[in-house]
Structure 1
């Protein structure tokens, strides 16, 4: 949770991060490295009074309560509006553990105010809780109160995590929320399977320290295994393993997306994903060429057995670009679907004829969609006919 909050702070460009704790632990040392790598100084203090010299009057101070879990975009939008104390309605906030401010408001565990307000900490008893003290000082200084939308409390975009049981519930809700945002409009079978896997096993994988890069390496191993098995003549199995390799890579990408959206320090952008997809496509084309039953003779051009598979896989990419924003376009990039189709064709159908028919179907559908789009655009163009009345 603290790692997420440090990510929130770094995303706002803060220059100093102060953590309230009784002493230095191994986890705090690792978080210090994270903060310093992000360009911020890192301090650990034990009392509210010790905060005073670290909060210059001319600085802005952002306070995050213990256990706050907030969607980064929503948090930045609310906190960047200037000096503000974020609140939630008292009837919704108290059951969730938020601190009472008055009869109508509870503190939403985040506020921003000028550093001069924090100077009042020096006049308070040392046993005072730092968050409560700063909240009271901000209220006395008449910092603006602003409500966090109640809908954010219900869908997991804003909440408090107070114990391990709540952490497990929040984590699953968090992963579901991020994967839903990452896959809005994506309904292909492979994407659905990858998303379901991440929702079910993603928290356990991240807890176990399984980084997305490790999952990506596993995808490469599965893809290499598929190519090797196809070389030995088990073409259908080779196709399926290439599809599974693509699926494993999609799981890795979704895990990386969750980490980046959560602003975890480990959520680095994974490079080479597009290149990996090209390798999967090249693998499918190559295995299809190996599976082809076209005779290899001097009478036929060299590489003819690659022609139809290359048109099929390359055509799927071109159609996706030629007709964007169409319902079901995700199927054209779903290599789990493509590999399953090729595996079935390899086992049950005349392989070369099936691939050629699929190419014709793909190109024909693309031409029809482009023609309908052109006709609709022409029909929507206003004309300049003149009308008169007799």
Structure 2
């Protein structure tokens, strides 16, 4: 928390926002994930942001210290301590950073011709400091012998070099795709934020392929930074999804069943956006986001809403010959098939589309508005069952016919 962020007076690199949280908050999340018991921030004074980060650190079980000079660091480090140093403004994907530091004492480097233009500090004629290192606490004891005006990162870097801490080169590919960078200004923070969000949504949505999932991912990538900077947390997005679902149920009760189906599909889409934001925060070691159990319960409620609205929309004539609940039987089978087929055929792309409740909501809305509703439900159930059975029957045969090995046994 020493280096200035661009030419703006009073702006510091550590305060630059990425996804609505400061770079320093990202670094503290990483430190807590490592199990660090003491977090030390170099800064010239206390601020409201640092007080908030102190609460985060203490809630994570770590002591929090703010110091202004390198000498003040000496009494905080014991010889047996395992010390991690993260440079001012370093933004790295947690899994990449952990992989580079997990092998023990190490000083991370970059080729000097690559690192210097990007803001990394020079070590020697060939290497630049990649803004992260790990070393035994005894190395820091020599800080007491250095002049007080020395920059603490530079001082620790020189001491680690003198102690012959092993060097390890950071792959340049991490710089190219944005998994490793030093953010030095507001403009660089905006660019890094877009790459950061794209990287995290690529990991979180790697199995996405249905239109609803892709739409949710595109929405997060386009509007996620603005939402996070505005303080829109995943739980708030989840609450909005619940309200949209209730509105859809209310419209169905009032007779606008097709609109109700669409709103239930939109509620699922909004929940997917909230879950994706929560996944990004969890992967970034920030907040926990939406709980997985809550998401599963919400999806179950969406399916229940589809069944209820479809039962209200059913054209089965009432009477003693029609048992109670018969109108809900077809929709219930449809929802069950939409859940069973992806489990039975996990490798089929089309089966993944059945998990997309936006598609199902639009299908039900179109069937309600333009087609014989009950017949469409029945035909959809039969089509799914037939497709599942045919795929399961032909799968083993296709595999057997394609096998290059002859049968090892034969029937007599």
TM range (shorter): over 0.9
The alpha-carbon distance between structure 1 residues 249 and 268, as it changes in their structure 2 partners (threshold 3 A), is closer
The alignment status of 1:9 with 2:31, answered yes or no, reads yes
Structure 1 unaligned spans of 5+ = none
- The secondary structure found in structure 1 opposite 2:350 is coil
With normalisation by structure 2, the TM-score equals: 0.91
The alignment status of 1:126 with 2:176, answered yes or no, reads no
Matches within 5 A, 1:136-215: 136-215=158-237
The alignment status of 1:384 with 2:408, answered yes or no, reads yes
- The secondary structure found in structure 2 opposite 1:297 is coil
State the partner residue of 2:16. none
The alignment status of 1:114 with 2:136, answered yes or no, reads yes
- The secondary structure found in structure 2 opposite 1:241 is helix
The alignment status of 1:296 with 2:318, answered yes or no, reads yes
Deviation at residue 267 of structure 1 after TM alignment: 4.2
Deviation at residue 342 of structure 1 after TM alignment: 0.6
Q: Pick from 331, 349, 357: which aligns with 1:335?
A: 357
Once residues 265 and 130 of structure 1 are traced to their aligned partners in structure 2, the CA distance between those partners, rounded to angstroms, is 30
- The secondary structure found in structure 1 opposite 2:99 is helix
State the partner residue of 1:39. 61
Cα deviation, 1:105-153, whole Å, max 9, x if unaligned, reads: 1111000001111111111110000000000110111111111111111
Q: Is the 8 A contact 1:3 1:265 kept in 2?
A: no
Once residues 268 and 406 of structure 2 are traced to their aligned partners in structure 1, the CA distance between those partners, rounded to angstroms, is 46
Tell me which moved more, 169-178 or 261-270. Answer: 261-270
Q: Is the 8 A contact 1:21 1:46 kept in 2?
A: yes
Deviation at residue 376 of structure 1 after TM alignment: 3.8
Q: Is the 8 A contact 1:156 1:173 kept in 2?
A: yes
The alignment status of 1:360 with 2:382, answered yes or no, reads yes
Once residues 382 and 170 of structure 2 are traced to their aligned partners in structure 1, the CA distance between those partners, rounded to angstroms, is 54
With normalisation by structure 1, the TM-score equals: 0.96
Once residues 406 and 319 of structure 2 are traced to their aligned partners in structure 1, the CA distance between those partners, rounded to angstroms, is 59
Once residues 37 and 75 of structure 2 are traced to their aligned partners in structure 1, the CA distance between those partners, rounded to angstroms, is 15
The alpha-carbon distance between structure 1 residues 271 and 45, as it changes in their structure 2 partners (threshold 3 A), is farther
- The secondary structure found in structure 2 opposite 1:328 is helix
The alpha-carbon distance between structure 1 residues 123 and 267, as it changes in their structure 2 partners (threshold 3 A), is farther
- Report how many residues are paired: 386
- The secondary structure found in structure 1 opposite 2:264 is helix
Once residues 350 and 78 of structure 2 are traced to their aligned partners in structure 1, the CA distance between those partners, rounded to angstroms, is 55
Q: Is the 8 A contact 2:274 2:290 kept in 1?
A: no
Q: Pick from 277, 286, 292: which aligns with 2:308?
A: 286
State the partner residue of 2:337. 315
Tell me which moved more, 321-330 or 267-276. Answer: 267-276
Q: Is the 8 A contact 1:260 1:269 kept in 2?
A: no
Q: Pick from 255, 258, 265: which aligns with 1:236?
A: 258
The alpha-carbon distance between structure 1 residues 305 and 269, as it changes in their structure 2 partners (threshold 3 A), is closer
Q: Is the 8 A contact 1:69 1:158 kept in 2?
A: yes
Deviation at residue 372 of structure 1 after TM alignment: 2.0
The alpha-carbon distance between structure 1 residues 7 and 274, as it changes in their structure 2 partners (threshold 3 A), is same
Once residues 98 and 350 of structure 2 are traced to their aligned partners in structure 1, the CA distance between those partners, rounded to angstroms, is 34
Q: Is the 8 A contact 1:256 1:270 kept in 2?
A: no
How much is the aligned-residue C-alpha RMSD, in angstroms?
A: 1.4
Q: Pick from 24, 30, 50: which aligns with 2:52?
A: 30
